[in-house]
C-alpha cells in the first residue's frame, strides 16, 4: 500500500513522460544522431555540481547513472538557444522499462539555483535551460543497462541527451532502517483562514511528501518559545489531525513511518493515558517518541523536562522521550560541561539528539557522547541546523555536503537523524525566508503557487541530495551486513574522511556509488 502511495505522489509531483512519438522518431534514429555529430550548446552534469558553471565548458550530451533497485538518481542537463521558444520534453527508451522518469526546472530563489519545479512535459526557454532529470527504479526492475534519449523539441530545433542507466542486482530496503525525522511548522504554511478540515488536507499534503523522501515527518509547534523567558517547550505530532481523531492512528500505521512524534503538554492526564493505551493496542508505542523541549540549556529546563517525562512514564514506562541539545548547562555546579546533560536527564530522556556543532568536528568526541548515551540504555541521534557543515543550509555547504550529512551519520554511528523544520518562512505570500537565519536554513519545501503551480509543493535540490545521502547510508549498511563494517568504512573513504573532509569532486561520488553497488552485487 505504501509503495502505491509513493508512486501516486511521484506522479502528482512530477509528470512521468512516455517513450516514442512516431516511426521516424525512435531511440535508434535519435541515438544515431547523437553518435554521428558533436554536441553543441548542450551540457550534462552530476546533481552535485553547479550546472550554470558548465556553460563555458566543453559541450556534452551523454551521462551514466548507477542505481540499485528501489533507488532514485538524477542528472542535470543544460542547453542554450538563440531564440525564445517552448520545448516539448520526450523520452525515447531503447527497450521497455519500469523505471520512472521526471523532469524539473532548476529555478533561482533566495540568491541560489535551488528550487526544482516540475515541467509537466513542456518548458519555456528564453536563452538557456537548466533542468534535473530524475530516474526511479522499482524493487522489480531487472538488473542491466537501460539506454534512452531525452529530446527537447521546439518547431525546427531540438536538443538531444543520451542517458545510460546501470541497474545493479541489489535493492534498497523499502522501509528505512534509520529513523530520519523532520519538522513542519503549521504556522508557516499559509493555512490561516482555512477550516480545520481544509487545514488538515493541506498539512497532509506536506507530510505525505516527506514520507516519499524516507523521512518521518512531524508537525512542530513552539508553544512557549521566548528568548526572554528561555521557555523552549515544543508540542509535536506526526499527524495532520488531532491526537484523538481516528485518522491519526490510521496515518501513523503507515509503515514508512519509522518514528512518530506524540503530543503531551496540552493533554490532561486522562487524555494522555487514553492516547497511550490506543497507541499500545495498535503496536505504535514502540516507534513513538515525545519531543517535549527544544535545546535545554539551564538547570530549570532540565527540571521541567524531568517533570513532563515523569508524567508520561507514569502511564507508559516504556514511552520514549527525545531531547535535543547542543550545549551543557549554562548555570549550576556543572556549568558548560556538555556531558552533564547525560547525567541530568538520565532518568527522563531515552533519545539524546545532539547537535553536530557541539561535537567540535571531533569523531573522538562524537564517540564519547554516543557511549555516554548507550551506557544509560538510551539512543544517540544527531541533528544539523544553522550553518552546520556538512549540513542542509546553503551557508557553508557546497552541494556534496548536503549528501555528506548521512555519510557522517554512518561514520559516527548515530542511530537517528533530526532536522528541525522544512518551511521556515517569514511570509508565504510573497514567499520570504526568515531573515534571522543562515542562508537556506530550515527551508527544504516550497509552496508551488509561488512557482506557477497551484495546489502543489516543490522541493529544494538540497532535499534531493540529502535523500541521495540516506540511500548511500542504506547501501553502506547492506555492505556492512555482508562484508563487515570495515569494508563499508574503507569504501566511504573515497568520499568522506571525517566531518571536515569530504571530496569536492562529483566524479569521486559517482565512483563511490558504482563500487558500492558492484560489491553488493557480487
Q: For the chain, which domains are there?
A: 2-169 (2.60.40.10), 180-460 (3.20.20)
Q: How confident is the model at residue 228 (pLDDT cuts 50, 70, 90)?
A: low
**Per-residue b/e over 115-134, b at no fewer than 16 CB within 10 Å?**
bbbbbebebebeeebbbbbb
Q: What is the mean pLDDT of residues 114-128?
A: 97
User: CA of 462: how far to CAs of 33, 105, 203, 354, 397, in Å?
Assistant: 35, 14, 22, 22, 10
Q: Give the chain's end-to-end CA distance (angstroms, integer).
A: 31
Contact 312, 290 (CB under 8 A): yes
pLDDT > 90? residue 133:
yes
What percentage of the chain has pLDDT greater than the value 70? 94
pLDDT tens, position by position, 170-223: 999 999 999 999 999 999 999 999 999 999 999 999 999 999 999 999 999 988
pLDDT tens, position by position, 230-259: 689 999 999 999 999 999 999 999 999 999
pLDDT number for residue 332 = 96
Angle, CA of 234, 239 and 240, to the nearest 5°: 100
pLDDT > 60? residue 14:
no
Query: Average pLDDT over the chain, rounded to whole?
Result: 94
pLDDT tens, position by position, 310-365: 999 999 999 999 999 999 999 999 999 999 999 999 999 999 999 999 999 999 99
pLDDT tens, position by position, 445-479: 999 999 999 999 999 999 999 999 999 999 999 99
Q: How confident is the model at residue 406 (pLDDT cuts 50, 70, 90)?
A: very high
User: For residue 143, what is its C-alpha cell?
Assistant: 538488473
Nearby residues of 388 by Cβ (< 8 Å), 6 or more positions away: 355, 356, 357, 396
pLDDT number for residue 443 = 98
Dump the DSSP string for 27-76.
Answer: HHHHHHHHHTS---SEEEEETTS-GGGGGGS----EEEEEEEET-EEEEE
| pTM, 2 dp | 0.94
Q: How confident is the model at residue 103 (pLDDT cuts 50, 70, 90)?
A: very high
Taking the C-alpha atoms of residue 451 and residue 425, their distance in angstroms, rounded to an integer, is 15
Taking the C-alpha atoms of residue 470 and residue 216, their distance in angstroms, rounded to an integer, is 13
Amino acid at each position: 500500500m505504501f509503495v502505491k502511495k509513493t508512486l501516486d505522489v511521484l506522479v502528482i509531483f512530477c509528470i512521468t513522460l512516455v517513450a516514442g512519438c512516431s516511426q521516424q522518431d525512435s531511440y535508434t534514429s535519435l541515438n544515431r544522431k547523437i553518435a554521428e555529430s558533436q554536441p553543441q550548446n548542450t551540457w550534462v552534469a552530476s546533481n552535485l555540481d553547479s550546472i550554470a558553471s558548465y556553460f563555458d565548458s566543453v559541450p556534452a550530451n551523454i551521462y551514466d547513472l548507477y542505481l540499485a533497485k528501489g533507488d532514485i538518481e538524477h542528472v542535470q542537463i543544460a542547453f542554450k538557444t538563440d531564440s525564445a521558444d517552448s520545448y516539448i520534453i520526450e523520452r525515447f527508451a531503447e527497450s521497455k522499462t519500469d523505471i520512472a522518469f521526471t523532469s524539473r526546472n532548476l529555478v533561482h530563489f533566495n540568491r541560489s539555483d535551488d528550487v526544482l519545479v516540475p515541467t509537466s512535459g513542456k518548458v519555456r526557454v528564453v536563452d538557456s535551460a537548466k533542468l534535473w532529470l530524475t530516474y526511479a527504479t522499482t524493487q522489480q526492475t531487472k538488473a542491466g543497462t537501460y539506454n534512452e534519449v531525452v529530446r527537447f523539441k521546439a518547431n525546427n530545433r531540438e536538443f538531444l541527451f543520451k542517458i545510460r542507466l546501470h541497474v545493479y542486482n541489489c535493492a534498497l530496503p523499502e522501509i528505512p532502517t534509520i529513523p530520519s525525522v523532520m519538522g513542519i511548522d503549521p504556522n508557516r504554511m499559509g493555512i490561516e483562514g482555512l477550516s480545520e478540515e481544509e487545514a488538515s488536507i493541506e498539512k497532509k499534503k506536506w507530510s505525505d511528501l516527506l514520507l516519499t523522501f524516507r523521512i518521518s515527518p512531524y508537525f512542530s509547534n513552539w508553544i512557549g518559545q521566548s528568548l526572554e523567558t528561555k521557555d523552549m517547550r515544543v508540542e509535536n505530532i506526526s499527524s495532520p489531525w488531532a491526537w484523538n481523531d481516528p485518522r491519526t492512528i490510521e496515518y501513523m500505521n503507515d509503515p514508512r513511518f519509522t518514528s512518530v512524534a506524540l503530543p503531551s503538554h496540552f493533554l490532561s492526564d486522562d487524555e494522555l493515558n487514553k492516547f497511550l493505551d490506543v497507541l499500545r493496542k495498535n503496536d505504535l508505542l514502540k516507534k513513538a517518541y515525545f519531543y517535549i523541549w527544544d535545546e535545554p540549556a539551564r538547570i530549570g529546563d532540565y527540571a521541567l523536562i524531568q517533570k513532563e517525562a515523569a508524567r508520561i512514564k507514569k502511564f507508559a514506562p516504556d514511552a520514549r522521550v527525545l531531547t535535543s541539545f547542543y550545549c551543557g548547562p549554562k548555570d549550576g555546579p556543572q556549568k558548560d560541561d556538555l556531558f552533564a546533560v547525560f547525567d541530568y536527564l538520565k532518568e527522563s530522556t531515552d533519545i539524546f539528539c545532539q547537535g553536530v556543532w557541539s561535537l567540535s568536528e571531533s569523531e573522538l568526541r562524537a564517540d564519547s557522547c554516543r557511549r555516554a548515551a548507550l551506557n544509560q540504555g538510551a539512543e544517540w541521534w544527531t541533528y544539523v541546523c544553522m550553518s552546520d557543515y556538512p549540513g542542509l543550509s546553503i551557508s557553508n555547504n557546497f552541494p556534496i555536503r548536503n549528501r555528506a550529512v548521512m555519510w557522517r551519520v554512518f561514520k559516527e554511528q548515530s542511530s537517528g537523524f533530526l532536522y528541525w523544520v522544512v518551511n521556515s518562512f517569514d511570509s508565504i505570500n510573497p514567499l520570504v525566508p526568515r531573515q534571522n537565519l543562515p542562508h537556506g536554513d530550515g527551508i527544504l519545501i516550497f509552496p508551488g503557487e509561488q512557482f506557477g503551480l497551484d495546489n502543489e509543493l516543490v522541493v529544494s535540490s538540497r532535499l534531493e541530495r540529502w535523500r541521495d545521502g540516506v540511500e548511500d547510508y542504506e547501501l553502506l549498511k547492506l555492505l556492512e551486513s555482508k562484508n563487515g563494517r570495515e569494508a563499508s568504512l574503507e569504501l566511504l573513504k573515497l568520499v568522506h574522511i571525517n566531518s571536515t573532509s569530504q571530496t569536492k569532486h562529483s566524479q569521486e561520488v559517482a565512483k563511490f556509488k558504482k563500487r558500492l553497488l558492484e560489491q553488493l552485487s557480487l
